[in-house]
Structure 1
Amino acid sequence: MPFTLAATVEHEVDIKKSRFLGRVEPVASRADALAVVDALRAAHPDAAHVCWALLAGGDSGMSDDGEPSGTAGRPMLEVLRHHDLDGVLATVVRYYGGVKLGAGGLVRAYTDAIAGALVHADKVERIAMVQLALTLPYADENRVRHWLQQQGHEVLSADHDALVTLHVSLPQASVAPALAALTDLTAGRLGWPGKPG
């Protein structure tokens, strides 16, 4: 079961006069992650490197930002994987202190900056959500809305034409049981995209 983070957490590591400003945070997309990286570059114009790793399903990625290949982005990504995270961006802003750390030293520094931040991070279960368009007669609307509210499912919007269309957000694992319960509740009058004929 993948987790994400409740909030942004920062952690600083100082090694041989170099400062490594580690940060982990939840992000919704790769575009959001890259916007965070750009903002960090703008906020730290004197930094030697702004390295990052993103674990977000098919949008995952990483950058060593000029550090020797495999010494920054990859170790940061592995820390995120080890913690079973998804939808999380790890960044490290490095201020060079004048002493070379070597490949092993860099891997340890970037790993420690992210692992240290995760020690203080609150993990929350990442639940895959689905949006459905449910169609039903007006006579069933109040009953269906009441059931959805009792189950904790969110009604995002409603359209009122010949039928009522409720746009609903619910956990993916709840879709089949919800459709079965609502079909019973409406005596089979409930419709949704892909409903068997």
Structure 2
Amino acid sequence: MSGWQTIDGPALFELEVKRSRHLARAVPVSDPEAALAFVATHADPSAHHNCWAYRIGSSYRFSDDGEPAGTAGRPILAAIEGQDVDQVAVLVTRWFGGIKLGAGGLARAYGGAAAECLRLAPRRALVVWCEATLEAGFEFAGTLHALLDPFGARKIEETFLPDGLRLHVRLPAGELDRLQSAMADASRGQARLTVHPGPGDGMGTP
């Protein structure tokens, strides 16, 4: 994915195809539990089908909810991917109008409603996060702490060493080089920054 975007709040779009009504709802979600809760809350029991999909990073899931396999959930997921958004759940509720659409027609209706709903929704950027360790002597302790906020770094843990301190922080990956440069300037090259992978790595909103 190149965009690293999600939608900025709930979105709604309605499409009618051969008298069948398709109501698409999309929301930003941070985890699968939130996506499933959204579906459970907004699925309409009076409708013939409530089909949905979500994508959150490498995690995704979809449901045809009784429609022929591959004609609803997967086209909705394809719409999410085609709109280049992440951390999104889409529910398309269908009320059958009496005229069968066929497999191709169903896929176009579900996928089209989802895609247009997402296309019309405002976007916001997703931030790629990483974790790093900052180390410096005690004389630069105040300097390290002062550099956190300007670069969006959040302190996870602080450890005192025999000759200084170590800060474990989480920050936007795009700020790493700037933070490292600022640390070097402020400490005359004595502070160290080490990037390391961890369970906190991933994407989120600013």
Question: TM bucket by the smaller chain?
Answer: 0.7 to 0.9
Q: Quick check: 1:54–1:60 contact (8 Å CA) kept in 2? A: yes
Tell me how far apart the structure 2 counterparts of residues 140 and 9 of structure 1 sit (CA, whole Å): 48
CA 1:147–1:191 in 2, change beyond 3 Å: closer, same or farther?
Answer: closer
Q: Does 1:175 align with 2:181?
A: no
Find the counterpart in structure 1 of residue 11 from structure 2.
9
Give, as a single letter, the amino acid of the residue that structure 2 aligns with 1:172: A
Show the 5 A alignment for 1:25-64. 25-41=27-43, 44-64=44-64
What TM-score do you get using the length of structure 2 for normalisation? 0.77
Give the partner amino acid of 2:172.
Answer: P
Instruction: Return closer, same or farther for 1:125/1:193 CA change in 2, 3 Å cut-off.
Output: closer
Q: CA RMSD in A?
A: 2.6
Gaps of 5+ in 1: none
Matching residue's letter, 1:140: F
Instruction: Tell whether the 8 Å contact from 1:129 to 1:172 is kept in structure 2 after alignment.
Output: yes
Q: Does the 8 Å contact 1:136/1:191 carry over to 2?
A: no
Contact 1:133–1:193 (Cα < 8 Å) also in 2: yes
Structure 2 counterpart SS, 1:128:
strand
Inter-partner Cα distance in structure 2 for 1:105 and 1:33:
26
8 Å CA contact 1:135–1:166 kept in 2: the answer is yes
Cα distance per residue 1:45-89 (max 9 Å; x no partner): 212211112222221121111111111111111222222111111
Q: Give the Å deviation of 1:110.
A: 0.7
TM-score where L is the length of structure 1: 0.80
Q: Distance in 1 between matches of 2:158 and 2:178?
A: 24
Tell me by how many angstroms 1:159 deviates. 4.3
Residues of 2 paired with 1:159 and 1:114: CA distance? 46
Shift of the alpha carbon at 1:180?
Answer: 5.2
Say if 2:7 and 2:118, in contact at 8 Å, map to a contact too.
no
Q: Secondary structure of 2:85's match?
A: coil
State how 1:1-197 maps to structure 2 within 5 Å. 1-2=2-3, 3-41=5-43, 44-151=44-151, 153-156=152-155, 159=158, 166-179=167-180, 181-183=182-184, 185-186=186-187, 187-190=189-192
1:10: Cα distance to partner? 0.6
Q: Which has the higher strand share?
A: 2
- Equivalenced residue count is 191
- Could you tell me how far apart the structure 2 residues matched to 1:156 and 1:12 are? 45
Q: 1:143-185: per-residue Cα shift (whole Å, max 9, x none)? A: 223323333x133456475665545332123335534542553
Q: Secondary structure at the match of 2:26?
A: strand
Work out the CA distance in 1 between the residues paired with 2:191 and 2:159: 16
Shift in CA distance, 168/33, structure 1 to aligned 2, threshold 3 Å: same
Aligned amino acid, residue 174 of structure 1: E
Q: Which amino acid aligns with 1:38?
A: A
For the Cα contact (< 8 Å) 1:158–1:164, is it kept in 2?
Answer: no
SS of residue in 1 equivalent to 2:6: strand
Contact 2:136 2:190 in 1 (8 A): no
Cα deviation digits, residues 100-133 of structure 1 (max 9, x gap): 2211221121122112212321122322112445
Q: Which runs of 5+ in 2 are unaligned?
A: 197-206
